[in-house]
Amino acid sequence: MSHTIKNIACIGAGYVGGPTMAVIAEKCPDIKVTVVDVNEKRIAAWNDENLDNLPIYEPGLKEVVKGARGRNLFFSTDVDAAIDAAEMVFISVNTPTKTYGVGKGMAADLKYVELCARQIARVANTDKIVVEKSTLPVRTAQSIRTILKAEGKAVNFQVLSNPEFLAEGTAVADLHQPDRVLIGGDQDAAGQRAVNALADIYAGWVSRDRIITTNVWSSELSKLTANAFLAQRVSSINALSALCEKSGADVEEIARAIGRDSRIGSKFMKASVGFGGSCFQKDILNLVYIARSYGLTEVGDYWEQVIVMNDYQKRRFAANIVNQLFNTVSGKKIAMLGWAFKKDTNDTRESAAIYVADYLLNEQAELFIYDPKVKPEQVYADLDYLNTRSESENRRLVTVVNQPGDAMKEAHAVAVMTEWDVFKTYDWQKVYDDMKKPAFVFDGRNILDGSGLKEIGFMYQGIGR
């Protein structure tokens, strides 16, 4: 398929930009795709001959990169050159929650998006289609458009919203076979031409009936809404898990029963230690901030409760560990299996494991942590970022190991924090035998079958023998 767009630049080589551009390059070999980032170390990792060193772990990603890199997929730190050559520029930079000023703790921090827009405006000498790929609050496109026009050049810009709906761990599969592709643009003729140019790219492998076009504002708000709805389901079933523990009901049976209701469905109905990742909490807080900024206090309060429930679940899980170990974990060895917020990714942002670990460290537990894809420096960085303890204390109390057996041997308790498939294959009877007595196993992600273990709600406690 021949495309009207022949040269794409993507600013941002992170979890969204890297995989998305790799798949576009794979599926559209007639389009040159250049991913740029000011982080030299990250770009070097994308260009590493050893594909196991890619900065992002996603099943299937290295195969896609191997097929397209050097052919029509390139990674570079020369941002200006990529912008200058491109007809379409994707903005795929981080939009963290603000830690300062108006909207602190809730609103999205758009400083990186603004810097991108200013750089595009400064460099561009030919017409460009600028595509929002980062998660952004509603009406950000207007701000980008204002910045682009501020240079006063005789350059025409069209701003599109193309939110990502990727789930980490299945990002490549989600890109290959998306539920839908959403493109928002201006409703005039020029805007629709830009929308069609982007739609034609995706149509190279996605059926047209799955490509949805809307106005810009609807597209931007759809991303926040989708994540808010999914997170709300997780918090709802987690709220019920606490009630099940008190009443004797089985949260798995309840989830199975109501999941059969076609009006509700079975997805995101798994009780757990809580949701994590870069999107859910950030997007819900952003939605809360937007609602309150329009004076919709009750709407903001409703969605904020999803976050409150998620935080409660993490604290409850950690407190349960302390309670079962006779109300003290001081000086006790606790193994934590998994640090990533979910399986099949090395992303640790907002992982429940971080907050459970922080709770246990405040109780002076000695933690031994194993994750098959997360590097030790990331574990320590996550704990240091909380600023709860000194860096030296974190390193005194936390040991990151390369083998799970090193974490579990002679541990007082094991907490399964990430649902890596490998954890399902362990001989848990042998694990128990190698632990201190009495020993406990806490399954925070419902991956164990409960064999030989005593169930406590959605968690499991090893019983003494």
CA separation for the pair 9, 79 (Å, rounded)? 9
CA separation for the pair 184, 192 (Å, rounded)? 9
Q: What angle do CA 58, 168, 214 make, to 5 degrees?
A: 120
- Among the listed residues 48, 52, 43, the one whose alpha carbon sits nearest the alpha carbon of residue 75: 43
Helix axes 140-150, 111-123, angle to 10 degrees: 30
**Active-site residue, from 223, 270, 282, 343:** 223
3-state secondary structure of 215: coil
Active site residue 28: no
**Active-site residue, from 164, 168, 252, 366:** 164
**248, 240 Cβ separation under 8 angstroms:** no
**321, 313 Cβ separation under 8 angstroms:** no
**285, 103 Cβ separation under 8 angstroms:** no
CA separation for the pair 426, 317 (Å, rounded)? 22
Instruction: Give the containing element (helix H, strand E) for 213.
Output: strand 211-214
Beta pairing class for 453-456 and 459-462 = antiparallel
Active site residue 279: yes
**Active-site residue, from 132, 279, 342, 419:** 279
Beta pairing class for 128-132 and 366-370 = unpaired
CA separation for the pair 404, 339 (Å, rounded)? 12
**397, 365 Cβ separation under 8 angstroms:** yes
CA separation for the pair 443, 271 (Å, rounded)? 11
The secondary structure of 326-348 as a DSSP string is TT--TT-EEEEE--SSSTT----
3-state secondary structure of 84: helix
Beta carbons within 10 angstroms of residue 147's beta carbon? 21
Active site residue 116: no
Q: Is 92 exposed, middle or buried (0-12, 13-18, 19+ CB in 10 A)?
A: buried
Structure tokens belonging to residue 205: 């492998």
* Enzyme catalytic residues: 164, 223, 279
